[in-house]
Structure formats: structure tokens, C-alpha cells
């Protein structure tokens, strides 16, 4: 009798555990199906068949949590899993990303240092298309800047900073940011510049200075303020900009990679002598660069005081180039301010291109210490 009871309870236990397993399995299967259709809805041409995507989702629902929790594995390459795409988990937030790379989908963008491709932020209900920037350059500084600037309004939305978890010695980081379907401002201007009104141009300048003011307040200079590094977004019927690409950002002026900006086209006079730049000098060279950027936005042409070709001409001594550059800016500022005053528009309360230009003239003051700070520019543009 006793052994019969023992046998009976063993069978019950087996049945219960197998039904729990079956339930768990159907649950995972249902979640994977839900995720598959949600992903296919949010990303129509993700370059994968429904079946490939389902297998990835099922792996995420079943195998992945064990690997993350027990073995602390965060990177699942295609060769390891035999799935159609690589999967990566952010160890801090546990967010899961499916990297699409360039398998049957075009690249999202490419800059001087980074390649940008699409990834999917996994969720069974609200998956999102996101941007994945990766590089083969060591980029610890950028990773630090991305972590420090995460969540700062006015800047490109940072979702995750991923270390190369395949190789603990690697100092290459990749980044997941919000995907901006309208792309960067440089491309956007080429298509839409003729349709911008003055109030749009003013809004763009205000958006940029908002982002830069917040960066500067956190002690970071941007140092690469070309139009490609502003991303276009839309809020309540209006087109807006956010500041992006922190690849050259420096905190407290600490950098081994000298230089005021990426090239000569936005370079302040003191940037011709990069070895002398330190600390807050970079905040001031950012302001000069923004003066040039605002002029471009306002008039859709290169700033007339900049002559990148002459600045980089090493046949002329550095001292002479520096002196001539300062002279050129001073002449331009003097003459232009006179002309602007004559129009009488500087005194008017209403914003006009002339009033914005008067602010630009302050920003490009050859004396870096006489330039307004980002907070002052922001309040002048308000
Ligand atoms: N989140 C994004 N959304 C849309 N386009 C992006 C995004 N991230 C990068 N890009 C595109 O990729 C280009 C290069 O990215 P960026 O971060 O500026 O790299 P780099 O440091 O090499 O210049 C950008 O100019 C833009 O066109
Ligand atoms: Mg860039």
C-alpha cells in the first residue's frame, strides 16, 4: 500500500511538472509570436523572414534569460546561436537589442569614425527601431561622454552604451540611440532649405543652443558642430533639431586629441594653435563655431569671414595666418555692425535676421573671452 502511494505521488509530480513545462512553453511561444508580429509591424523591411524572426524571439523568451542571469552572457553572435541575427543585452538596463547590421537592410549612416546600422529594441508589445553606432577605433572618451550626457534634453536620445562584451580587453564601445527618421540636418537642408521661413531658421538656432548650453553646463565641449551632427525631429507640427555625435566631446578640456573643431571650416582663431587650448577654451571655440553654424542656417551660405583653404595653407607661417584671420574677422564685424545699425532693425523688439546676425557677430569675437557663453546666447535668442 505504502509503495503504491509513493508511486502515485511520483506520477502526480511528474504530470504536474510536465504540465508546468508545457504551460511555460506555450507561454513563451505566445510571447514570441506576439513579438514577431509587433516587430514586423514597426519595421516592415527588417530583412528577415517571419520564421527567422520568430526563432530569435523564442530564443529571447526561453534561453536568453538563463544565459544572462546564470552565466552573465550578454552578447549572442549568429555563429554561437545559429540564429539569423546577433542579439545583445545591455547589462545595466537588461534591454535586449537585435542587431540588423547590413544583412538585407541598408546602412543608416556613416561618419568619419562610425558606421551606423539599424537594431530593434526588443519588446513583445512595443518594439522600437533604433540606431546602432559602432566603430573599430578605441572610443572610451566618447563612451564616457555618452554615459554622462544620457537623458540630457536637447541632445540626441541615448538608449544604451554597450561595451564589447565579447572581448573584455577591448576599449571599443557601441551605442544605441533613438532613430531619427528624418536624418541629419545637412541632408535635410539640401532637400528642404528653400521651404524654410525665418521663424524655422530661428527655431533651429534656438534648439542647437539649448542642447549646447546643457552640454556646457555639464562641463562638456562638443568640438564637432557640423550640420551633419544635428539630427532632425518633429514635435507638434514643427521641425526641431537635437545635438548629436559626441565623438569629439571633451570634459574640462581634458583630451589628448587636440583641435578646436573637426576641421578648419568652423575653427576659431585660437584653434589655429591647438596645442595651447585647455580647459574652458573649448567652450569658447564651440561658441565661435556655432556663430558660423547659425550664419549658415540663417542665410544658407558659408560664413563670409571663414576661408578654410587659407587657414590650412602651411606655406604661410602660422603666426601670419593667425594675424590675418583675426584682422579679417575684425574688419567684417565692424563693417557689418555699421550696416546692421543703419537698418534700424536692431532696436525693434521683434526678432529679425538682422537681430540674430548681431548676436552672431558677438559669438565670433576674435577675443575668446569676449564671446558670450552658451547661456547668454540662449537668453539673447529667447
Ligand atoms: N540616431 C540616428 N538617426 C538617424 N541617423 C543617424 C543616427 N545616428 C547616426 N546617423 C547618421 O549617421 C551619420 C554618422 O553618425 P555620427 O554619430 O555622426 O558618426 P561620426 O562620429 O562618424 O560622424 C550621421 O551624420 C547621420 O546621418
Ligand atoms: Mg558625425
Ligand 1 pocket by Cβ (under 6 Å):
108-114, 116, 131, 133, 177-180, 183-184, 228-229, 231, 244-245, 247
Tell me which of 152, 178, 204 is where a domain ends.
178
Residue 20 has pLDDT above 70, yes or no: no
Terminal-to-terminal C-alpha distance of the chain: 89
Q: What CA–CA distance (Å, rounded) separates 302 from 151?
A: 33
- Please give the pLDDT value at position 171: 87
The predicted structure's pLDDT at residue 228: 97
Ligand closest to Cα of 179 equals 1
Domain for residue 232, yes or no?
A: yes
How close is the Cα of 114 to the center of ligand 1, in Å?
A: 8
In a domain, 13, yes or no: no
pLDDT for residue 361 is more than 80? yes
Closest ligand 1 atom to residue 178 Cα is 1
- Both 51 and 158 in one domain: the answer is yes
**Which domain does 163 fall in, by range?**
28-178
Q: Whose CA is nearest to atom 11 of ligand 1?
A: 109
Last residue within a domain, chosen from 157, 178, 199:
178
In this structure, what DSSP letter does residue 112 have? S
Structurally, how many domains does the chain consist of?
2
Range with lowest mean pLDDT among 3-12, 140-149, 179-188, 210-219:
3-12
Nearest ligand (C-alpha, residue 135)? 1
How many angstroms is it from 111 CA to the middle of ligand 2? 5
What contacts 241, CB < 8 A, 6 or more positions away?
185, 204, 207, 208, 211, 230, 231, 232, 233
Q: Is residue 332 part of a domain?
A: yes
The arithmetic mean of pLDDT across residues 69-97, rounded, is 96
Residue 10 in any domain: the answer is no
pLDDT for 252 beyond 60: yes
Please report, for the domain that includes residue 87, its CATH number: 3.30.200.20
C-alpha cell at 121: 529594441
pLDDT digits (tens, 9 = 90+) for 110-125: 998 899 999 999 999 9
Q: Are residues 86 and 138 in the same domain?
A: yes
Cell triple for 216: 556646457
SS3 state of residue 15:
helix
pLDDT of residue 221: 98
Note whether residue 5 is domain-resident. no
242 and 298, same domain (yes or no) = yes
Ligand 1 atom 15: the closest Cα is on which residue? Answer: 111
Domain contains 4: no
The label of the residue with cell 509591424 reads: 41
Residue 12 has what pLDDT?
55
Residue 339 is placed in which grid cell? 550696416
Q: What confidence score (pLDDT) does residue 257 get?
A: 87
Look at 103 and 11; give whichever has higher pLDDT. 103
pLDDT at 8 over 60: no
pTM of the entire predicted model: 0.92
Amino acid at each position: 500500500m505504502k509503495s503504491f502511494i509513493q508511486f502515485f505521488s511520483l506520477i502526480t509530480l511528474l504530470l504536474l511538472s510536465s504540465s508546468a513545462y508545457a504551460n511555460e512553453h506555450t507561454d513563451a511561444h505566445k510571447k514570441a509570436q506576439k513579438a514577431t508580429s509587433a516587430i514586423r509591424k514597426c519595421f516592415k523591411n527588417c530583412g528577415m523572414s517571419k520564421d527567422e524572426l520568430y526563432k530569435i524571439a523564442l530564443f529571447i523568451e526561453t534561453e536568453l534569460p538563463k544565459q544572462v542571469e546564470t552565466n552573465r552572457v550578454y552578447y549572442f553572435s549568429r555563429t554561437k546561436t545559429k540564429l539569423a541575427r546577433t542579439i545583445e543585452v545591455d547589462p545595466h538596463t537588461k534591454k535586449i537589442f537585435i542587431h540588423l547590421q547590413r544583412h538585407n537592410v541598408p546602412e543608416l549612416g556613416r561618419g568619419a569614425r562610425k558606421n551606423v546600422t539599424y537594431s530593434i529594441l526588443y519588446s513583445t508589445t512595443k518594439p522600437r527601431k533604433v540606431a546602432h553606432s559602432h566603430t573599430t577605433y578605441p572610443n572610451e572618451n566618447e563612451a564616457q561622454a555618452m554615459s554622462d550626457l544620457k537623458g540630457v534634453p536637447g541632445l540626441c536620445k541615448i538608449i544604451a552604451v554597450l561595451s564589447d562584451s565579447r572581448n573584455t580587453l577591448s576599449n571599443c564601445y557601441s551605442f544605441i540611440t533613438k532613430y531619427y527618421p528624418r536624418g541629419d540636418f545637412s541632408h535635410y537642408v539640401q532637400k528642404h532649405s528653400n521651404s524654410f521661413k525665418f521663424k524655422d531658421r530661428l527655431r533651429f538656432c534656438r534648439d542647437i543652443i539649448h542642447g549646447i548650453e546643457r552640454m556646457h553646463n555639464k562641463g562638456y565641449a562638443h568640438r564637432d558642430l557640423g550640420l551633419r551632427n544635428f539630427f532632425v525631429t518633429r514635435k507638434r507640427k514643427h521641425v526641431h533639431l537635437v545635438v548629436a555625435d559626441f565623438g569629439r566631446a571633451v570634459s574640462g578640456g581634458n583630451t589628448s586629441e587636440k583641435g578646436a573643431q573637426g576641421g578648419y571650416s568652423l575653427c576659431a582663431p585660437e584653434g589655429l594653435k591647438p596645442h595651447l587650448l585647455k580647459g574652458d577654451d573649448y567652450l569658447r571655440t564651440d561658441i565661435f563655431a556655432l556663430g558660423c553654424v547659425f550664419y549658415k542656417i540663417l542665410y544658407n551660405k558659408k560664413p563670409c569671414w571663414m576661408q578654410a583653404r587659407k587657414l590650412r595653407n602651411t606655406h604661410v607661417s602660422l603666426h601670419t595666418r593667425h594675424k590675418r584671420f583675426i584682422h579679417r574677422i575684425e574688419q567684417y564685424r565692424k563693417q557689418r555692425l555699421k550696416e546692421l545699425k543703419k537698418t534700424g532693425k536692431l532696436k525693434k523688439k521683434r526678432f529679425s535676421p538682422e537681430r540674430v546676425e548681431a548676436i552672431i557677430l558677438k559669438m565670433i569675437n576674435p577675443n575668446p573671452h569676449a564671446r558670450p557663453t552658451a547661456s547668454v546666447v540662449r537668453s539673447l535668442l529667447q
